[in-house]
């Protein structure tokens, strides 16, 4: 495989990984909240869901950043992947 195919596969895999983290954090947080508060949370469930979703997005990007730092420390990205953004000419 060449660098462009590696880059495309990496981007697809990273996107799926990030969406999976968001899904797991969202569902896990909602199950935890429902198990703690029970049925008394029905009135504010919609508002709470928005905060849980935003929190899951923030946490997933944090987790993704940590994982990417560890991957780039072990792998020379320029050797295997095509640059996504090109440098501007001056």
Residue with tokens 């987790």, as numbered in its chain: 63
Residue 84 inside a domain? The answer is no
Contact present, 26 and 52 (Cβ < 8 Å): yes
Q: Give the pLDDT of residue 19.
A: 92
Domain of 55 in residue numbering reads as 3-77
User: What does the alpha-carbon distance between residue 77 and residue 10 come to, in Å, rounded to a whole number?
Assistant: 11
Q: Give the pLDDT of residue 10.
A: 84
Q: How many domains does the chain have?
A: 1
Contact present, 80 and 4 (Cβ < 8 Å): no
Q: Give the pLDDT of residue 60.
A: 92
User: What does the alpha-carbon distance between residue 90 and residue 88 come to, in Å, rounded to a whole number?
Assistant: 6
Residue 23 inside a domain? The answer is yes
Instruction: Dig out the tokens for 13 from the structure.
Output: 């895999």
Running along the chain, 90 residues long, what does each successive block of 10 average in pLDDT? 81 91 91 79 78 91 90 80 70
């Amino acid at each position: 495989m060449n660098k462009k195919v590696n880059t495309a596969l990496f981007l697809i895999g990273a996107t799926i990984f990030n969406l999976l983290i968001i899904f797991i954090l969202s569902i896990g947080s909602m199950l935890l909240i429902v198990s703690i508060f029970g049925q008394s949370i029905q009135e504010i469930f919609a508002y709470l869901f928005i905060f849980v979703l935003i929190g899951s997005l923030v946490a997933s990007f944090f987790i993704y950043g940590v994982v990417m730092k560890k991957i780039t420390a072990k792998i020379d990205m320029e050797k295997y992947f095509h640059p996504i953004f090109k440098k501007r000419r001056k």
